[in-house]
Amino acid sequence: MDDYLIQNASSIDSPALVIYPERIVHNIRTMLAMVDGEADKLIPHVKTHKMAEVAKMQVEAGITKFKCATIAEAEMLADTGARHVLLAYQLTGPKIQRFGELVQAYNWVEWASLIDNWVSAEELAAGFEKTAYKPVVYIDVNLGMNRTGHAVDAGLEAFYRELKADERFDLRGFHAYDGHLRDPDVAVRQRQADEALKPLEDFADRLEQEGEPRPVIIVGGTPTFTNHARRPNVWCSPGTCLLWDWGYSDGLPEQHFEWAALLITRVISKPAPGLITTDLGHKAVAAENPLNKRIRFLNLSGYEVVGQSEEHMVLQVADWNNIRIGEVLYGVPYHICPTVALHDEAQVILNGEVVERWAIDARKRRITY
């Protein structure tokens, strides 16, 4: 825990997001080690960090394919050396025009997007019918999360074959996110992941037997990264593991990533005996989970979060008399992805010192396009 302490913390206004690049390097190396060093097997998601500097670190490690969720994240990737970018979202409305502007501006990047129905496919095709670009697409498949994706049914094979034959598209394969599979027992999670993916793998095998190119299968996120990392013929797309958080470190103990992003907050009041208030409100840490699953403090024990509002977090503490106004607390977010999106910048810590600030540009909905 002492490794996280910041010697010049007095220079940081709170609440603040702080980043430890050496731990990011460790996490990138761990991610690569899990796929036996095969960088081409990775297509990591950038929705967690949203920072150009982190994306550059991945590119420098040999990773050139990425997933993202927004146009802003896509633009950030194009500016940092990515060569294949999958906007893992169903494009509709103005997003198609904005995506087209990216395609035109960054023509050295291989752009791709998702579709799971013919309405979206037709809209995407119409958006590019007067251009030289043939949309590269992956069929989004619902493996049971019931968020997006074509059902794994008889219609999926027909949809694939029709789309593959349609000269308006360059169909590469499938995208299958199984983020709902989070059983703490790795063996149970493995069985669930295998069962969910088997119909796609069987179909890919059948296509190969027919003499067709084997479709790419992009599968999983961080929860099932363990289960797919050594699976042949797939690309893996972990994301949260770049920064890591309390939720996944507890739920996925077999993954040896390190907390590379923390929040610092200060005690601003002691409103009643046993209570302290910090400046860590809803606007600084993801608040979609219950109070007891928002932050874990590293340098405070015997506490319970009892209240939170936009600018304040109230804690019941055991050692009330010895806690000082202005004291700095270091905390690990339970869910780092939406926490990062609440901050404009991150303070960068090297050797216990703040050395610079990194802009979290892709938290915006629009950078240029």
pLDDT tens per residue, range 60-119 = 999 999 999 999 999 999 999 999 999 999 999 999 999 999 999 999 999 999 999 999
pLDDT in tens, 222-250: 999 999 999 999 999 999 999 999 999 99
Q: Are residues 96 and 6 in the same domain?
A: no
Q: Are residues 126 and 162 in the same domain?
A: yes
Q: Are residues 276 and 206 in the same domain?
A: no
- The phi, psi pair for 208, rounded to 5°, reads -60, -40
Banded pLDDT at 130 (limits 50, 70, 90): very high
| Burial of residue 146 (number of CB atoms within 10 Å: 0-12, 13-18, 19+) | exposed
Give me the CATH number covering residue 277.
Answer: 2.40.37.20
- The phi, psi pair for 51, rounded to 5°, reads -120, 130
Residue 48 pLDDT greater than 80, yes or no: yes
Q: Is the dihedral of CA 198, 203, 204, 210 positive or negative?
A: positive
> Shortest CA distance to 5 belongs to which of 264, 215, 241?
264
Query: Is 252 a domain residue?
Result: no
Query: Is 253 a domain residue?
Result: no
pLDDT at 1: 53
Query: Is 238 a domain residue?
Result: yes
Q: Are residues 130 and 238 in the same domain?
A: yes
Tokens for 188?
Answer: 């149970």
Q: What would the mean pLDDT of 156-174 be, rounded to a whole number? A: 97
Q: Are residues 91 and 175 in the same domain?
A: yes
| Burial of residue 209 (number of CB atoms within 10 Å: 0-12, 13-18, 19+) | exposed
Name the residue range of residue 358's domain. 2-15+258-363
Query: Is 368 a domain residue?
Result: no
Contact at 8 Å (CB) between 339 and 264? no
Give me the CATH number covering residue 174.
Answer: 3.20.20.10
Query: Is 272 a domain residue?
Result: yes
Out of 246, 281, 308, a domain closes at 246
Q: What percent of the chain has pLDDT over 70?
A: 100
Query: Is 251 a domain residue?
Result: no
pLDDT in tens, 240-298: 999 999 999 999 999 999 999 999 999 999 999 999 999 999 999 999 999 999 999 99
Query: Is 323 a domain residue?
Result: yes
Q: Are residues 308 and 179 in the same domain?
A: no
Banded pLDDT at 2 (limits 50, 70, 90): confident
Q: Are residues 224 and 266 in the same domain?
A: no
Banded pLDDT at 321 (limits 50, 70, 90): very high
Q: Are residues 11 and 71 in the same domain?
A: no
Query: Is 45 a domain residue?
Result: yes
pLDDT in tens, 4-35: 999 999 999 999 999 999 999 999 999 999 99
Q: Are residues 233 and 266 in the same domain?
A: no
Query: Number of folded domains in the chain?
Result: 2
Q: What mean pLDDT value characterizes the chain?
A: 97
Q: Are residues 48 and 114 in the same domain?
A: yes
pLDDT at 73: 98
Out of 226, 246, 266, a domain closes at 246
Q: Are residues 48 and 173 in the same domain?
A: yes
Q: Are residues 105 and 206 in the same domain?
A: yes
Out of 225, 246, 267, a domain closes at 246
